[in-house]
Structure 1
Amino acid sequence: MRLNVPDLGSEELASIAEVLESGYLTQGPKVAEFERLVAEHVGVEHAFATSSATTGIHLALRAAGVEPGDEVIVPDFSFPATANAVIQQGAIPVFVDINLATFNMNPALIESKITEKTAAIMPVHAFGLPADMDAINEIAARHNLPVIEDAACALGGTFKGREAGSLGTAGVFSFHPRKIITTGEGGLVSTQNAEMAERIAVLRTHGAVRGSHFMSFVEAGYNYRLSDVLGAIGVVQMGKLRDLVAKRQELAGVYNRLLAGVQGVQTPTVPAETTHTYQSYVVLLDAKYDRNAVIDAMRERGIETTLGTYSMHLQPYFSERFGIADEELPQATRAHSSALTLPLYPQLTEAEIASVCETLGEVLASQG
């Protein structure tokens, strides 16, 4: 049983064929339609499709005014692309510990990390669960800092009735095959800020502004565009978004019910007035269990699982550069070694989930 299977079919193939027949393969009308659909769903004026969420984060940081030598506050427990984009802008990621119940950045720890060099706060909506954005935005407002949502996993998630990607200065989504919807590879930046939008539009396409006859290059920009072939997939996928999220939430409820009786497993916590997309269904195992041995044992029984995500300060690059002790980030360190991602995708059946839960219980029991 695989960890994830994208929901793709004949509609996506037909949409791709339409682009191929048009001969317009680079960023074009399909990307524009995709951007419009995402912007309407999120509830913002501006959306810019990008080649990946990583390039989207880079654009958002630069458009927000983050300069080389600045500091950007990020959670330690996240896929390293979050901090890599900060590094690519020449800035310095400042790691904050998480709340172990939600896997999201702990707002109570942010203010102590703010210095005169701090240029932005970048919360991550872990596994599709929006962070505590009221608390984060309040801190940011006191210090006049932009908030960039790493909403890679959270398209379709909400916080107090508002969509992820509309909760900060800008939001960034991913459309990797493991995400809620996919374009194969790709990302998108959403914002209500007209000034940011103007800069992103220029930076995304080589720093160019198109005139009546030719382009003028006003910035040292990038080629971070999404092709119309991938945009065509995204247009179809957006039509499925609400159903895909609803199905994931339904199946997560099955997991919650069946795992309630399994000793040593903490199921996901969803705070009030927050909706989880369950891009990944991640549990926390008791510290006595060897999570990596659990992954191996589940694989031997034909079930793919993996770690939750990475505690970045433990990764070689960040460890060698910053040398942060585990004791400074204890919850992220614990999550790195004990979080376990179980299979979850809309095509999964309740019987298959029951098999996963039964097998996990047996594997944990074998470890004592």
Structure 2
Amino acid sequence: MIFKNKVFQIIKHLMIYPHYKMNVFSGTNSYSEMLDVIKCLFSSTCVNGSDIGIYHHLLQKMLGSPSYSFASGRMGFYSILKTIGIQEKDEIIIPSYTCIVVPNAILYCSAKPVYCDILMSDFNIDTDHLESLITSRTKAIYAQHTFGQMCDIDKIMEIAAKHNLIVIEDAALALGARKDGKWAGTIGDFGYYSTDRSKVINTGLGGIVTVNNSNYNKKFSDYYDSIPYLDEKMTKKIAQTFIINVITLHPSLYWIGKFINMVLTKFGVMTYFSDEQCVRKESIYAYPYPAKLSNIFAKIGIWQIQNIKHNISHRKQVAHYYNDILQIYPSEYIENEKNIFLRYSFLIRNRDYWENRFSSKIDLSIWFKSIASGRIDNFEKIGYSLGSNTISEYACLHIFNLPTHQQIKSEKLKKLLLELKKSGDIISKENIL
């Protein structure tokens, strides 16, 4: 009955809304890539093949560190934790303004996430609070580059060196950001990236780990060799999902595409990872965790690496367009190589109203609307106490972020952007709390 009602709701939307609507799919993939994936689906190299080695070589050449691909960024992070020997009662300091998969991976090691508040200026971890959270059990600091804006990595490295701690960079949203020419994700002892459909490059699913501390090269390589690939059935189902997304998730097909995706997901033709609410690793049984990236997705990655500069340039252009109207950031901040603006993010009053307004034109999907985004209740399960990090919690209530990906036609949002600017609902950083 629920499914039937959902179908009727979508049909109603099809009749009411214009077909053109910009969606969350990043639009970086070509039909040539899709055809390559279709060919690989029917080959013996769908799961394991030579494209993986080529992909790793290109990543290492680009990033300057030994690079490994995983079925997801979260699996890469978990593999880092296992490599450095994280175990029961160990503590990892993370920003409370993050994704649910981050504390989950720590909990899978029976360790403890320790939550640090953020700066409202860039939504990154507040380094002034870090040292007060360090104990004899602290093993690592998690340096997250939120929304594609680099955190104060120099200060974090300084604190970590003082206390003999590991630094793990979360560049899941910041592939392509740089500081003094070094890529985000290659400055700490380890870094990792996400390459799913909403990121700078889209390999259908996936993640990348960089090992930047040579003391861990062999240990990480040995661990990587010990983990499995996704099985052939799961690999093919996710590849099918990628193909269908490329075809259907185009702005001109938005509503019919959304309907097709819902139906095919319901009947098991399409699939996505679904471990966000699992706080125990044993609860994940549909696929191995962690798992290596299958060859078919590495093949997509080889194509995607060629487009990184273009993708980032487009995102900066869109961010500039938003900013010329909303005037939230200095223009030089947007131009700075440290910021790629995967999302153009700011704080807002009356968010529900503006979310509804913008959602008529764009698949908004506001990110980080809760502590450990993806969890909406039972925060004690991830060791977080509500009220403990007030700035993060304020950001969750007021965050508004606009996508900047390839399918965004920013001029179609001009009228709404002007209305938002005129409304006075944008919260300036000087008037927070």
TM bin, normalised by shorter chain, reads 0.7 to 0.9
Which of 377, 381, 385 is 1:324 aligned to?
A: 385
- How far 1:43 sits from its partner (Å)? 1.6
1:29 aligns with 2:72: no
Aligned residue number for residue 16 of structure 2: none
Cα distance in 2 between the residues matched to 1:5 and 1:222: 25
> Do 2:94 and 2:115's aligned partners in 1 also have CA atoms closer than 8 Å?
yes
Cα distance in 2 between the residues matched to 1:268 and 1:72: 35
Aligned residue number for residue 321 of structure 2: 254
CA RMSD of aligned residues (A): 2.6
Assess, with a 3 A threshold, how the Cα gap between structure 1 residues 235 and 317 changes in structure 2: closer, same or farther.
farther
Which of 15, 19, 26 is 2:40 aligned to?
A: 19
> Do 1:267 and 1:283's aligned partners in 2 also have CA atoms closer than 8 Å?
no
- How far 1:189 sits from its partner (Å)? 0.5
Aligned residue number for residue 308 of structure 2: 241
> Do 2:174 and 2:340's aligned partners in 1 also have CA atoms closer than 8 Å?
yes
Cα distance in 2 between the residues matched to 1:181 and 1:70: 33
Unaligned segments of structure 2, at least 5 residues:
1-20, 229-287, 426-433
Cα distance in 2 between the residues matched to 1:359 and 1:4: 23
The aligned length equals 343
Unaligned segments of structure 1, at least 5 residues:
209-220
1:302 aligns with 2:361: yes
- Deviations along 1:269-303, one digit per CA (max 9) or x if unpaired, are 94996521211221211xxx23233213332x333
1:42 aligns with 2:103: no
Which of 4, 10, 13 is 2:31 aligned to?
A: 10
SS in 1 for 2:201: coil
Aligned residue number for residue 212 of structure 1: none
Cα distance in 2 between the residues matched to 1:111 and 1:232: 43
> Do 2:94 and 2:116's aligned partners in 1 also have CA atoms closer than 8 Å?
yes
Q: Aligned letter for 1:58? A: Y
Q: After superposition, where does 1:265-304 map in structure 2 within 5 Å?
A: 270=333, 274-285=337-348, 289-299=349-359, 301-304=360-363
Cα distance in 1 between the residues matched to 2:142 and 2:95: 8
Which has the larger helix fraction? 2
Cα distance in 2 between the residues matched to 1:70 and 1:354: 49
1:140 aligns with 2:140: no
- Deviations along 1:45-66, one digit per CA (max 9) or x if unpaired, are x111001001000001111222
- Deviations along 1:334-364, one digit per CA (max 9) or x if unpaired, are 1101111213212323422424413544777
1:78 aligns with 2:98: yes
TM-score normalised by length of structure 1: 0.85
Aligned residue number for residue 244 of structure 2: none
SS in 1 for 2:166: coil
Which of 339, 345, 348 is 2:399 aligned to?
A: 339
Aligned residue number for residue 218 of structure 2: 198
Assess, with a 3 A threshold, how the Cα gap between structure 1 residues 37 and 359 changes in structure 2: closer, same or farther.
farther
> Do 1:99 and 1:105's aligned partners in 2 also have CA atoms closer than 8 Å?
yes
Cα distance in 1 between the residues matched to 2:366 and 2:31: 33
Cα distance in 1 between the residues matched to 2:293 and 2:99: 22
> Do 2:320 and 2:331's aligned partners in 1 also have CA atoms closer than 8 Å?
no
TM-score normalised by length of structure 2: 0.73
Which has the larger displacement, 58-67 or 306-315? 306-315
Cα distance in 2 between the residues matched to 1:13 and 1:349: 23
> Do 1:298 and 1:360's aligned partners in 2 also have CA atoms closer than 8 Å?
no
Q: Report % sequence identity.
A: 25
